[in-house]
Amino acid sequence: MADSGFASLPPHHPQCLGCGPDNPAGLQLSVYRDGDEVFTDLAFDARHRGAPGLAHGGAISAACDDLFGFVLYVVEEIAVTRTLTVEYRAPVPLGQRHRITARLHHRDGRRLHLEAAGVGDDGVTRFTAQALFIVVDIDHFSDHGTEHDVHAMFTQHPLRTREGG
């Protein structure tokens, strides 16, 4: 796939369930920016099993939620999920790669309306999602994480260029 040249976005933090490279129980998403959209290529595996051979809906939902958290790099706002709706249009087989793409649909004050779709490498759209994120201040996180960890989450990382595809 001709992905080289897309900007690689930094994980929210190293232990993030969705994208943290240091979280062995996480999805370890690698996320890229393509214009105003973000995307990740993901094949659910045995750790994400729901019914035999199929991905668990909660794992799919987590992937969508975390990917929405990367649209924030495009919007340049800090925001958190208030609502998340996933439409499971077709079963998602384990081991089959899907590209999940997310974008801002529209903004209304503090409300960010987001949308996403997961398309298999066979061209089938198996799930779509809509979310409402609410813009918050960095203080939203201060009561729960250490100052160091909260600061690190919002440190600007230089965008990297994807190598290969």
State the residues that interact with ligand 3IX by CB under 6 A. 12, 16, 18, 65-66, 68-69, 72-73, 76, 78, 80-83, 109-111, 132, 134, 136, 140, 153-154
* Residue nearest to ligand 3IX as judged by C-beta position: 69
d(CA 27, CA 41): 11
CB nearer to ligand 3IX: pick between 73 and 94 = 73
Contact 15, 23 (CB under 8 A): yes
Minimum Å gap between C-beta 116 and ligand 3IX is 12
- How wide is the angle at C-alpha 16 spanned by C-alphas 117 and 116, nearest 5°? 10
- Which three-class secondary structure state does DSSP give residue 52? coil
Minimum Å gap between C-beta 102 and ligand 3IX is 11
d(CA 92, CA 43): 9
Minimum Å gap between C-beta 43 and ligand 3IX is 21
